[in-house]
Amino acid sequence: MKPDVRECSVARTLDLVGTKWTLLAVREILLGSHRFEEIARYTGAPRDILTDRLRRLEAEGLVARVQYEERPPRFEYHLTDLGRSLIPIIATLREFGDRHLAGSDGPPIRLEHSCGATYHPVMACAACGEVVRRGEVTVVDLPAAAS
pLDDT of residue 26: 97
pLDDT of residue 19: 93
Do 129 and 62 share a domain, yes or no?
no
Q: What is the per-residue pLDDT across 36-58, written as a single tens digit (0 to 9) for each? A: 999 999 999 999 999 999 999 99
Do 95 and 38 share a domain, yes or no?
no
Q: What is the per-residue pLDDT across 96-107, written as a single tens digit (0 to 9) for each? A: 999 999 989 889
Tell me the β-bridge partners of 22.
none
* 145 pLDDT more than 90: no
List the domain range (segments joined by +) for residue 79. Answer: 9-85
Q: What is the pTM of this model?
A: 0.83
For the chain, first and last CA: distance in Å?
Answer: 18
Q: Please indicate, yes or no, if residue 21 is contained in any of the structural domains.
A: yes
DSSP state letters, 107-125: -S---B-TTSSBP----B-
Do 22 and 60 share a domain, yes or no?
yes
Do 58 and 95 share a domain, yes or no?
no
Could you tell me the CATH number of the domain that includes residue 72?
Answer: 1.10.10.10
3-class DSSP assignment, residue 112: strand
